[in-house]
Copies of this chain bind each other. A is one copy, B any other.
């Protein structure tokens, strides 16, 4: 029997892919067998999904086939859906099989958090995957086509975006850019189209620099976005949304970006979790199982003030790198290193040529911020796929 340890990585998102790539690089021949499991045979760049969702970019630019990322001589890839995680038995149940592991990395990503708002689960669309953003894009175009047959249905042309966090803000920026093109394509008067961004918190981009938030709202308002800030959605129906204020907005399109929770599978596996996010130890391991690591949206890492870091691509990537390093150290019997999140900053796109951001503590807006956003995207492509991937997927 082989004594080579088996590492199974669940999910090829930011966390899983970075873990896999670093293991591929660091591990020597026969040091470990690594298997990456993912629902699709592609990785997608979640931070880019607001563009294909709005239809301002091709979904192909937001995904990378896993075969182009990993070296299948070094890492096995299994395209399957995880059904159950059994940490005590060191097994993962897949839709079509079972995998045993010595070490497990859970990077299964998040799900939309609907906070129990009735109807959101059923009627709202989510910016969560290639499939879901293709659906949003097709849904939006379909509303324009349907409007031309039923011109009394103004609700076809009202687009509600729930949540004005980073995803919501980036999506309305793209959608506002797309609307004039759709109006031209379908012969629709642009004055009939409305984008309404609804946020329950007392500000858009809660927790972000107020001056930049104001800039973002001004840019987006000028592009035709209507904000309803400090306004909770009470209920979502096939006909629109009802707000806590009593107001009803008729719309056949609700895109929900209002919250993210971890994956239900980690709760079902019995890990100590808050809304599907597992509280990990300083080495990114679950508190119950030293051989199970959690990275990305399913993990909960606290900052120095004891508050959880928001789940971002940046956090997931750094976790993937740290997780791989600790796995290698474990296998080699070397000491583990604590994970420290290094917050480099954040940039949010507001549509073509417009963005806001804080990078290494420096505020920026407009073209400069948009350029920085582009650089961050290219840097990511470079990190995971080197120059060839930058050339293939990076748009200049």
Residues of A within 8 A of B (CB): 40, 131-132, 134-135, 137-139, 141-142, 144-146, 148-149, 186-187
Contact of B138 with A145 in the complex, beta carbons under 8 Å: yes
Q: Which one of A132, A137, A142, A144 has the highest number of Cβ atoms from chain B below 10 Å of its Cβ?
A: A142
Main secondary structure of the interface of A (DSSP, over half): helix
Q: List 8 tightest A-B contacts by C-beta distance, closest first.
A: A138-B145, A131-B148, A135-B145, A138-B142, A142-B142, A134-B145, A138-B141, A135-B149
Nearest residue, chain B, Cβ from A139: B142
Known interface pairs A139-B142, A142-B142. Does A186 touch B134 (Cβ–Cβ under 8 Å)?
A: yes
| A245 CB to nearest chain B CB (Å) | 31
11 contacts between A and B (CB under 8 A): A132-B149, A134-B145, A134-B148, A135-B145, A135-B146, A135-B149, A137-B145, A138-B138, A138-B142, A139-B145, A142-B142
| A76 CB to nearest chain B CB (Å) | 22
User: In the assembled complex, which residues on chain B have CB atoms less than 8 Å from the CB atom of A145?
Assistant: 131, 134-135, 137-139
| A349 CB to nearest chain B CB (Å) | 24
Cα A131 to Cα B134 in complex, Å, equals 22
Cα A73 to Cα B149 in complex, Å, equals 33
| A137 CB to nearest chain B CB (Å) | 8
Known: A135-B146, A135-B148, A138-B138; 12 extra A-B contacts, CB below 8 A, are A131-B145, A131-B149, A132-B149, A134-B145, A134-B148, A134-B186, A137-B145, A138-B141, A138-B142, A138-B146, A139-B142, A139-B145
Nearest residue, chain B, Cβ from A42: B187
Cα A148 to Cα B139 in complex, Å, equals 13
| A253 CB to nearest chain B CB (Å) | 12
| A63 CB to nearest chain B CB (Å) | 10
User: In the assembled complex, which residues on chain B have CB atoms less than 8 Å from the CB atom of A146?
Assistant: 135, 138
| A360 CB to nearest chain B CB (Å) | 39
User: In the assembled complex, which residues on chain B have CB atoms less than 8 Å from the CB atom of A131?
Assistant: 145, 148-149, 187
User: In the assembled complex, which residues on chain B have CB atoms less than 8 Å from the CB atom of A137?
Assistant: 145
| A166 CB to nearest chain B CB (Å) | 24
User: In the assembled complex, which residues on chain B have CB atoms less than 8 Å from the CB atom of A134?
Assistant: 145, 148, 186
User: In the assembled complex, which residues on chain B have CB atoms less than 8 Å from the CB atom of A132?
Assistant: 149
Q: Which one of A40, A135, A145, A148 has the highest number of Cβ atoms from chain B below 10 Å of its Cβ?
A: A145
| A152 CB to nearest chain B CB (Å) | 14
| A42 CB to nearest chain B CB (Å) | 9
